[in-house]
Each structure stands twice: as C-alpha cells, then as structure tokens.
Amino acid sequence: MRKILILFAHPKFEQSDVNQALINSISHLDHVHIRDLYDLYPDFDINVQAEQEILFEYEVVIWHHPIYWYSCPPLLKQWMDLVLEFGWAYGPGGVFLRNKYVMNVVTSGGSKEVYAAEGRNRYTMEEFLRPFEATAYLCHMRYMPPFHVGGTHRITKEELEGKAKVYQELILSLRDSPSIDFPYIQKP
C-alpha cells in the first residue's frame, strides 16, 4: 500500500461544491492524507521544515487545486517556492523527492473542449500545466498526466457524483495496485 499526500489548495473551499465532492470521496481513505493548505497557512507563512518532513513519508503526491488564470492558486505556488528548496528537492544533495509519483488534479470552469488547440483557450490542460511538469522533472519525480474535471459551472449532480467516483478509484488504484501503470515523465 502506498501512502498518498493530497496537497489541496483552494482559497474558497466552502463555496466549491465540485471540490467538496471530490475531497469527500477520498477523505475517509486510509493511507491518504489531505493537507488543506489554505486552512493550515492562512497567512502564507508556510512551515518549510514541517512540510519537508511530511513529504518524506509519502510515495505519491497530488497537487489538487482549481485553475485560476491558467495556473494554481497562489498559496500552492508559495508552497513550491518555499518547500522545494535548492539542495533538498533539487540541485546538489537535492534527492529527497526522487522517484516520488506526482500528479495535478485540477478543476476548471471551462470544459475539456475549451482546453484544446482548436478551443477557446488554444492550449490543452497538459500544456498549461507545463510549469508543474518541469518542476517535477527537475526534482526527479515521476510526473503523471493530470486528472481534470472541467465545465464545473454547468456540471450536474449526477455528473459530479460520477467524477468523484472516478477520482476515488484513481486514488485507490494509486494506493493499492501492485505497480503504477500510468505513463509518467521523469528526468533520466
């Protein structure tokens, strides 16, 4: 069984039905630890040492966040800026994240069709998430394709239940399957 760390960043979680449904579907699972960053660090004053110690224990890391202006909410960026230190996460001696699996789980108002070369946003979600991929790459992590819930403004209750179920199954398979079969990118 792998231990999974969900780094969840949402500045208005209490008003996000979609993210509540997603989080609720996995919050009770063993070996799955959800860190609600906006609840832990309301003043952005991240405890770097504590975060690094926690990362040490987990084999799979999930960056779970909504897409704001084609990126993550600022606290998750702050987390990356502060926690992924030179000499710890990358650079000489920066070996502590090596071989950990990592994935973006994102929600967006725009639908899947909008995030496409022919769509209104002109790029795919994978392309928008390149900075995350590059970060993981530099840290020798195994970056897996994102899990995307799109069209959240118009999602029906049934669709949402379905998405939450898929998310749960995804987390369960990351936790329980003998080997992780998702494709991933890793610095050779």
* Cβ distance to another protein smaller for residue 84 or 102: 84
The DSSP line for 84-112 is S-BTTTBSTT--TTTT-EEEEEEE-SS-T
Residue 48 touches another protein, criterion: CB under 8 A: yes
Cα–Cα distance measured from residue 165 to residue 145, given in angstroms and rounded to the nearest whole number: 18
- Size (the chain), residues: 188
Taking only Cα atoms into account, the Rg of the chain, rounded to an integer number of angstroms, comes to: 16
Q: What is the DSSP letter of 114?
A: T
Q: How far is the CB of 24 from another protein (least distance, A)?
A: 23
Question: What is the x/- site pattern for another protein, positions 102-141, by CB under 8 A?
Answer: ----------------------------------------
Query: Which residues ranging from 150 to 179 are in contact with another protein (CB under 8 A)?
Result: none
Residue 53 touches another protein, criterion: CB under 8 A: no
Q: Please work out the total of residues on this chain that contact another protein, with binding judged by CB under 8 A.
A: 10
Q: How far is the CB of 131 from another protein (least distance, A)?
A: 17
Q: What is the DSSP letter of 187?
A: -
Q: How far is the CB of 92 from another protein (least distance, A)?
A: 6
Question: What is the x/- site pattern for another protein, positions 64-93, by CB under 8 A?
Answer: -----------------xx--xxx---xx-
Nearest to 108 by CA among 95, 124, 94: 124
| Nearest-10 crossing angle of helices 48-57, 74-83 | 80
Q: What is the DSSP letter of 50?
A: H
Residues at the contact surface with another protein, assessed by CB under 8 A: 43, 45, 48, 81-82, 85-87, 91-92
